[in-house]
Amino acid sequence: MEKTKREIRMENGKKLRLLKRKDVINLPSRNWNKDVEPFDSLLLVNSGRNHDSGWKHIVIIGCRNLVPVQQLAWPDDINWNMEEVHKLKGLSVQYCMRTDMTVYGLIHIWSSNCNFKVGPALSSTEIKLIPIV
């Protein structure tokens, strides 16, 4: 019997909760300015390296169906662009972005009504929330 999408996501979620930094830090990286399709969730990971500003670099990892796919950027700050969410009537901005932390301290950003489009990998990287309509 084939598993449903929900069952697959539940299994993947259990695996995601147990990931460590070393499990994702060596994922393939995109070219800094390559455009990629939006992701349904993201992991934010401490890179272990300092930026010139004194803040740590954040490794942004794109996930699909709760499976980490690739490193998207290593900024020292993130600009969350919610412009598209604000334009839609009936979509609550209050619940458009959710946050969990894995057992080993990786931050998981997700949404049930938005995907995440990560811009070019610059010192300040923009992540745009794209409503799923």
- In this prediction, the residues of the chain whose per-residue pLDDT falls under 50 are none
pLDDT in the model for residue 99: 94
Q: What is the DSSP string of the chain?
A: -PPPHHHHHHHHHHHHHT--HHHHTTS-B--TT-----BSEEEEEEEEEE-TTSSEEEEEEEEETTEEEEEEE--SEEEEE-HHHHHSSS--GGGS-EEEE-TTS-EEEE-SSEEEEE----SEEEEEEEE--
129, 81 Cβ separation under 8 angstroms: yes
pLDDT in tens, 28-64: 999 888 888 999 999 999 988 888 888 899 999 999 9
Q: How many domains does the chain have?
A: 1
Range of the domain at 15: 5-131
